[in-house]
Amino acid sequence: MDSISDRPLLEDGRLERYEGSTSILVRSDISPKRRRFTIAHELGHLLLMAPNSEFVAARHIIGKDVEERFCEDFAGALLLPAWWVKETIHDRPRTLHTLRVIAGRSNTSLAASCVRMKKISGWQSTLLCWNRHESNWHFQWAAGLPNGFEGRIRSSDHTSAILNSHDMSGDVDIELPLRISGTEKRVPAQVSVRHGSAIALAVLI
């Protein structure tokens, strides 16, 4: 590896090799935690490269490409080694607080930490995130979804009211209303609502 530099990219990161020089380019406006994970991801691409090949590797759709899945797993293993995670969470409850401890000590995102916990520690929970616009909450993303759940999670008609009622009240255990594959359900979850954003650690199945 010859250089790592920030660039105004559309994708999070890119690995380039030309005339024997290898570089990782990282989108300049991503967070420091995302930057670390992106660099680790691109190192996974480097590991898979044929020696002396010249190419430009652009990020593809995560979860839809075998190489991309490998690089996501590689980044998780590099930044959150299994032995360290198991040692750190020993006897800790499966809560948002524990997830924050893992993310904080490893300098990774809550999303990356959740995916890694599910892979190596038997956690069943999915991390969900919303942003508030006026009094309504808009679902943004999910991390650690069970297989087959991609694109199936939405807010229900009652999600906003529930999240508004817990604003600034700390981590709260509730039955969270969601729309899953078009059907409204209530799932066990721990939610944290602060300053116009909300996260939930929810058991979907």
* Dihedral Cα 89, 90, 96, 100, nearest 10 deg: -30
Task: Indicate the pTM of the whole model.
Answer: 0.87
The predicted model gives 97-110 an average pLDDT of 96
Task: Label residue 192 by pLDDT band (50, 70, 90).
Answer: very high
Residue 94, classified by CB atoms within 10 Å of its CB into exposed (0-12), middle (13-18) or buried (19+), is middle
- Identity of the amino acid at 184: E
> In degrees to the nearest 10, what's the CA dihedral of 131, 133, 137, 142?
-30
Task: Place 49 in a pLDDT band, splitting at 50, 70 and 90.
Answer: confident
Please state the rounded mean pLDDT for residues 38-64.
74
| All structural domains of the chain with their residue ranges | 3-78, 81-121, 126-202
Predicted confidence (pLDDT) per residue in 161-178, tens digit: 999 998 878 899 999 999
Q: Is 123 helix (H, G, I), strand (E, B) or coil?
A: coil
Instruction: Report pLDDT digits (tens) over 53-97.
Output: 766 665 544 555 888 889 999 999 999 999 999 999 988 999 999
Terminal CA-CA length for the chain = 43
Q: Which two tokens stand for residue 123?
A: 């956690």
DSSP assignments along 129-184, one per residue: EEEEETTEEEEEEEESPPTT-TT-EEE-TTHHHHHHHTBTS-SEEEEEEEEETTEE
